[in-house]
Amino acid sequence: MNIAFIIFDYNYGGGAQKTASLAEYLQSLGHTVKIIVIRCRDGDSEKKKRPTHFSDVLDLNSKSFFSGVLKLKRIFDNFKYDAYICIGGKSNLSAGLAKFLCRGTFILIGSENFAKSVFIGDYPKFYLRLLLPLFKLAYTQLNGLLFVTEKLRLEFLKKNSWHPSRCITIHNPVRSININLKENKTYNSSGITFLGIGILEYRKRFDLLIKAFSEVANKKDRLIIAGDGSLENELKKLSKYLGLESQINFLGYTSDTEALMKKSDILVLTSNSEAFGMVLAEGLAAGLQVVSTNSFSGPEEILGNGRYGFLADVDDLNSIVSALRLAIKKPKSRDLILEGVSKFSIDAVTNNYLKFMSTVIKKKGNLNEPL
C-alpha cells in the first residue's frame, strides 16, 4: 500500500512522534510511506527537534496557511497514494480544502489529536473559531476520522452528525515496550528520581509539579524536567524560592527521553489539557510508576482509570501530592503495567490503522455515510 501522512508541524510533539513511529513500522512491513510537512521553513529551529527514526519527509515549506493549501493541491494533482492520513485538525483543514479545490476522489482520512477544537466549541484561539465554515467544508472531503481517545471521539459525535462507523478510536503507539520494573520495588538510599517531560508552557502546569515535589521529596530525591518553553526562567525562580535548586535539574529539550526514563522512578504529568498524553504511554512502556492529572481526554484511558497509574485532580496541588505519595508507598506491579501498555504496542496500533484504511478504501464515501 502507498500511504502518505500529512502533518502541519513536524516537531517533538506527540503527533510527530506518532507519525514517525507509524511510518517507520509501516515501511518495515513493506508499505511505501512518505511524510508531508506543511509548515516548516528553512532555518526553522524545530527541525532540530524532529523524530529521527523516519527520514522520507517532504517539506512544503509553506509561508502561510493558503500557500500550504495550494501546495497540497499540487501534490494531490501529481502524486497518487492509496490513502492520505492527516495528523491533527490543521492538517485536516488544509488537506480537505486542497482536495475540494482539485475535485479529488482519493481517500483522505483525518485525525483529531487535540483536546480543544472548533468542532466542540472550545478552541482558545478566537480567529480559528471564525474559520468554522472552512473547517466544515474541509471535513466534507474526509472519508474517515480517527481519534486518539474514545472520550474525545464521543465529545465530537455529540456535536456533529458524522456517522459513528466513520469515526473510530485508535490510540497512539509506543515504539517499544521494555519494562525493567522489579516486583515489590522499594526505593533505595540514593533517593527517588521524579521525571517531568513537556513544553514549559502554562497548560502543562510544571509549577504544580515543582510545588508537589517540594511537599513529598526527601533530601536525596531529585526532579528532572526535560523540555523548553517561555516559562523556563519563571520555573527556575520558583525552584530557587522553594530551596530546591540543588534537587531540580532543568535539561532543556532532549530527544533521548528513553534514556531519561531508564534513570527515573516516577513519571509525573500535571497538565490541565491533554488530548492523549503520549509521555504517559511511554512511561508505562519503560516500567515507570506514572502519576497524571485527570485532564481531558487521554490520561484516564491510558491509566485505566487509575488501574495502571495514579490520577489526580486537575489544577489541584493537594490531589497531586496525594497521588505522588501513593505512587511511592504502593507502586503498581510489573504485571499491571504490562497489561496497561499492551494496547499501545506499535504492531497492534498499526494493524488497526491498516484495517481501517482497507475498509475505507473499499467503501469510499464521506463522514456522513455508514461504513
User: How does DSSP assign 279-333, residue by residue?
Assistant: HHHHHHHTT-EEEEE--SBSHHHHTGGGTSSEEE-TT-HHHHHHHHHHHHHSPPP
**Range from 166-170, 187-191, 228-232, 330-334 carrying the lowest mean pLDDT:** 187-191
Regarding whether 289 and 230 lie in a shared domain, the answer is yes
Cα 84 from chain centroid (whole Å): 19
The answer as to whether 63 is a domain residue is yes
Dihedral Cα 169, 58, 197, 88, nearest 10 deg: -30
- Band of residue 282 on the pLDDT scale cut at 50, 70, 90: very high
> If you average pLDDT over residues 8-31, what whole number do you get?
91
Same domain, 337 and 351: no
Q: Are 147 and 292 within 8 A, CB to CB? A: no
pLDDT tier, 50 (very low <50, low <70, confident <90, very high otherwise): confident
pLDDT at residue 87 is higher than 50? yes
Helix (H), strand (E) at residue 87: strand 83-87
- pLDDT of 207: 98
216 and 292 co-located in one domain: yes
CA distance 169 to 174: 16
pLDDT over 70, % of the chain: 94
pLDDT digits (tens, 9 = 90+) for 338-358: 999 999 999 999 999 999 999
Highest mean pLDDT among 34-48, 168-182, 335-349: 335-349
Is residue 178, in this structure, part of any structural domain at all? Answer: no
pLDDT tens-digit map of 142-171: 999 999 999 999 999 999 999 999 999 999
CB 145 within 8 A of CB 112: yes
pLDDT attached to residue 122:
65
CA distance 109 to 92: 8
Lowest-confidence segment of 130-134, 165-169, 307-311, 343-347 by average pLDDT? 130-134
CA distance linking residue 55 with residue 66, whole number of Å: 26
Task: With cut-offs at 50, 70 and 90, classify the pLDDT of residue 289.
Answer: very high
Half-sphere exposure of 89 (CA within 13 A, CB side): 19
Average pLDDT of the chain, as a whole number: 92
pLDDT at 294 over 80: yes
Specify which residues 195 forms β-bridges with. 224, 267
Q: What distance, in Å, lies between the first and last C-alpha atoms of the chain?
A: 20
Do 235 and 297 share a domain, yes or no?
A: yes
Q: Is residue 285 included in any domain, yes or no?
A: yes
65 and 144 in a single domain? The answer is yes
DSSP summary character for residue 274: B
Tell me, yes or no, whether 108 and 208 share the same domain.
no
Taken as a whole, the chain contains a residue count of: 371
49, part of any domain: yes
Query: For the whole model, what pTM was predicted?
Result: 0.91
327 and 227 assigned to the same domain? yes
Query: Within this chain, do residues 296 and 235 fall inside the same structural domain, yes or no?
Result: yes
Its domain, for residue 92, covers 2-173+345-363
What residues contact residue 161 under an 8 Å CB cut-off, 6+ apart?
368
Q: Could you tell me if 340 and 217 lie in one domain? A: yes
41, pLDDT greater than 90: no
Residue 179 pLDDT > 80: no
Cα–Cα dist 153/324, whole Å: 30
* Cα–Cα distance for residue pair 274/236, rounded to 1 Å: 24
pLDDT of 136 above 70: yes
- 187 lies in a domain? no
User: Do 137 and 240 have their domain in common?
Assistant: no
Q: Helix, strand or coil for residue 60? A: coil
CA angle 315, 341, 56 (to 5 degrees): 95
Report whether pLDDT(183) > 50: no
303 and 329 share one domain: yes
Whether residue 371 is contained in a domain is answered as no
* pLDDT at 232 > cutoff 70: yes
Q: Are residue 32 and residue 104 in the same domain, yes or no?
A: yes
Task: Choose among 202, 329, 226: nearest CA to 283.
Answer: 226
Residues 6+ apart with CB under 8 A from 234: 207
Predicted confidence at residue 39, as pLDDT, reads 85
Compute the C-alpha angle 269/331/329, nearest 5°: 100
Quick one: pLDDT at residue 187?
58
Tell whether 349 is covered by a domain. Answer: yes
Give helix 89-102 / helix 132-139 axis angle, nearest 10°: 70
Contacts (Cβ under 8 Å, ≥6 apart) of 197: 225, 226, 227, 257, 260, 267, 279
Confidence tier at 43 by pLDDT (50, 70, 90):
very low
The answer to whether residue 370 sits within a structural domain is no
6: CATH: 3.40.50.2000
Cα(129)–Cα(118) distance, rounded to whole angstroms?
6
Give the total number of structural domains in the chain: 2
